Structure 1
Amino acid sequence: MMSPHHLLVFVSLLADGGVHPRPATDAGTVPTTSATIPWPETELEPLGTLEGPAVLAAHAALQEVMKRFPKTATKSCAFSPRALEFVVGYQSGWYFVRVNRRVDKCPEFDPGVTLEYDWFELYAVSPEGRVERYPHRP
């Protein structure tokens, strides 16, 4: 007969799925390894250079925008970060983040498609991290 300690370890291993955890992947995807990543062979061409606080300001704006999207549409690309474009600027000690909606980046829409006319949101992020939305409705 098993001791209670051995039984507890056995049951917890069964609940975890075994000794070695499987990598978390989306359904139908293959986990990437270093060999499957197309690493650049020449010098990397940057999209832009942002300092740490600018990245944090863009992330804070992303969180605010995602709060405003309908919760029922979270699986749609049109209501995901993939369909957003961020423009970050710095002026008078504040970071300003303009968030443009770009649904044409989603595979279910054709290039150049827009759902709203000139949809954008503008956020001001203080050096302390306070986030304020520009008072208008897109």
Structure 2
Amino acid sequence: MLKPHHVLLCVSLLQDGGATLPPTVEKGIQWPDDLQPLATLDGPAVLAAHAALQRVLSRYPTEYAKSCAFSAKGMEVIVGEERGIYFVRINPRPDKCGWAPGTVLGFDVFELYAVSPEGKVLARYPSMP
């Protein structure tokens, strides 16, 4: 049972629009709340996308290497840039390989990486494996 001061706190938060969470900071990197894709990819953005995509593909077991769904063809890559760091989001897209739209192949529905302009992966967003 909620105590009266808990109810008052909930009502107050609802009136204020809810509590704002502090930005996620992991390994010294402030992760964006909403990744804004770049309209045009410059050279460093392409390096960042390639480095992150290679990292994702290297995490799959070698027996999956010939499967389209676990290849670059089965991935969607979104690149954004904030504060001099590229953030690369990689979404599995098995529908690009003939699977039914909306098919999910695992618990992680995306992976997000922070990458330097030189193409060095700095960190992976802290989430499930």
Range class of TM-score, shorter chain: 0.5 to 0.7
SS in 2 for 1:97: strand
Who is 2:94 aligned against? 103
Who is 1:91 aligned against? 82
Deviation of 1:113 (Å): 2.3
Q: Which digits, 9 at most, give the CA deviation of each residue in 1:40-63, with x for residues without a partner? A: xxxxxxxx5211110110000011
Identity %: 61
Cα contact 1:104–1:114 (8 A) shared by 2 = no
1:1-138 equivalence runs, <5 A = 48-107=39-98, 109-116=99-106, 119-131=109-121, 132-137=123-128
- The alignment yields a C-alpha RMSD, in angstroms, of 1.6
TM-score (norm 2): 0.63
Deviation of 1:82 (Å): 0.8
Cα contact 2:75–2:94 (8 A) shared by 1 = yes
Higher normalized contact order (CA 8 Å, seq sep 6+, divided by chain length): 2
Deviation of 1:120 (Å): 0.6
Cα contact 2:47–2:118 (8 A) shared by 1 = no
Runs of 4+ in structure 1 over 3 Å off: none
Higher-Rg member (1/2): 1
Q: Which digits, 9 at most, give the CA deviation of each residue in 1:32-80, with x for residues without a partner? A: xxxxxxxxxxxxxxxx521111011000001100110111111111111
TM-score (norm 1): 0.59
SS in 1 for 2:112: strand
Cα distance in 2 for partners of 1:113, 1:130 equals: 31
Q: Which sections of structure 1, spanning at least 5 residues, go unmatched?
A: 1-47
Cα distance in 1 for partners of 2:117, 2:71 equals: 27
Cα distance in 2 for partners of 1:73, 1:115 equals: 12
Cα distance in 2 for partners of 1:80, 1:94 equals: 25
